[in-house]
Amino acid sequence: MKILIHPDAARAAGAVADRIADLLAARPGAVLGLATGGTMEPVYAALIDRAGQGRFPAARFTSFNLDEYVGLGPDHPQSYHVYMRRHLFGPLGLPPGQAHLPRGDAPDLEAEAARYEAAIAAAGGIDLQLLGIGANGHIGFNEPSSSLVSRTRVKTLARKTVEDNRRFFGPGEPVPRHALTMGIGTVMDAAEVVLLATGAAKAQAVAAMVEGPLSASCPASILQMHAKATLVCDRAAAAALRMTEYYETVHPEGGAPQL
């Protein structure tokens, strides 16, 4: 795993946007796997900025999001459909047919999961999958104990995840307890994976992912088995790593390797 520790969260998010911009400059029709959540907001803002600078053609890529809350339709204000339209697809002018998210309001969620897997395969698979990480080590909404070879399906959210997500909902508004999420096997099929972690609340999960045992207790630890996985983080999220000196020697300030 490539481990890039940046001095602060803004630079870490900018580095992720740069990686995506470089890929889209080289291959404008690439297939992206996208994530939501607070960590991704500065990444999408930076990516819109890079598109405005003409670094890549803004509206040629195809995307598949990791997950959607069960029970929320695509126009629900807290749905990930709305999040993506607001933070990325709208500003970039991405044609709706190129942006895919699972439907959390589908009448048959199992059929919707199978349809989503088939759509990813029909697009030729994911070239770059962007990931955040939960404080409990989840990726997508694959909570601890998820099968490490799972495919898209419904998962029950851990209590900690529901509590962490509460900040996006209004006071007294119910927070969904289930999500339709790509599986860990689905994520691992991507040609490249970039996980962004920022802030002290992610430090234990990052340490378990990078230096802990490969275990379903920390779903993100499966990335130890991916041939092209990069962790991009800030110093706060890197604080519990034991081998920081080594990572910073190889990539000072998250930059190019010192050979």
Q: Select from 7, 28, 29, 38 the one that contacts ligand F6R (CB under 6 A).
A: 38
Q: Which of 87, 105, 127, 136 is catalytic?
A: 136
Sequence-ordered strand ranges (E) for 44-98 = 62-65, 67-69
Residue 66 touching ligand F6R (CB under 6 A):
yes
**Contact between residue 47 and residue 20 where contact means Cβ atoms under 8 Å apart:** yes
Question: Can you tell me which residue has the tokens 């819109």?
Answer: 48
- Report the residue number, 38 or 252, with the smaller CB distance to ligand F6R: 38
Active site residue 67: yes
Please select the residue that binds ligand F6R; options are 9, 21, 67, 229, rule is CB under 6 A.
67
Which residue out of 105, 112, 117, 143 is catalytically annotated?
Answer: 143
- 39 vs 150, beta carbon nearer ligand F6R: 39
* DSSP bridge pairs for 34: 65
**Cβ proximity of 63 and 31 under 8 Å:** yes
Residue 35 found at the interface with ligand F6R (CB under 6 A): yes
Burial 17-54 (b: 16+ CB within 10 A, else e): bebbbebbeeeeebbbbbbbbebbebbbbbbbebbeee
Shortest Cβ 29–ligand F6R spacing (Å): 23
Nearer to ligand F6R, 35 or 70 (CB): 35
Q: Which residue is nearest to ligand F6R (CB)?
A: 132
136 labelled catalytic: yes
38 or 174, CB closer to ligand F6R? Answer: 38
Which one of 6, 67, 87, 164 is the catalytic residue?
Answer: 67
Examine the residue annotation and report whether 22 is marked as an active-site residue of this protein: no
Has 68 been annotated as catalytic?
Answer: no
CA separation for the pair 235, 226 (Å, rounded): 23
Q: Which residue among 14, 21, 24, 36 contacts ligand F6R (CB under 6 A)?
A: 36
Specify whether the CB–CB gap between 139 and 218 falls below 8 A: no
| Total binding residues toward ligand F6R, as defined by CB under 6 A | 13
For 177, the token pair is 């307890």
| Strand ranges (E), 140-249 | 153-156, 178-181, 192-197, 229-234
Q: Which 126-185 positions form the footprint of ligand F6R (CB under 6 A)? A: 132-134, 138-140
Query: DSSP state, 102?
Result: -
| Binding flag, residue 254, ligand F6R (CB under 6 A) | no
Distance CA 251, CA 166 (A): 36
- CA nearest neighbour of 229 among 146, 120, 99, 139: 139
Minimum CB distance to ligand F6R, residue 15 (Å): 16
Give the range of 3-11, 31-39, 111-119, 121-129 binding ligand F6R by CB under 6 A: 31-39
Q: Which residues bind ligand F6R (CB under 6 A)?
A: 35-39, 66-67, 132-134, 138-140
Active site members: 67, 136, 138, 143
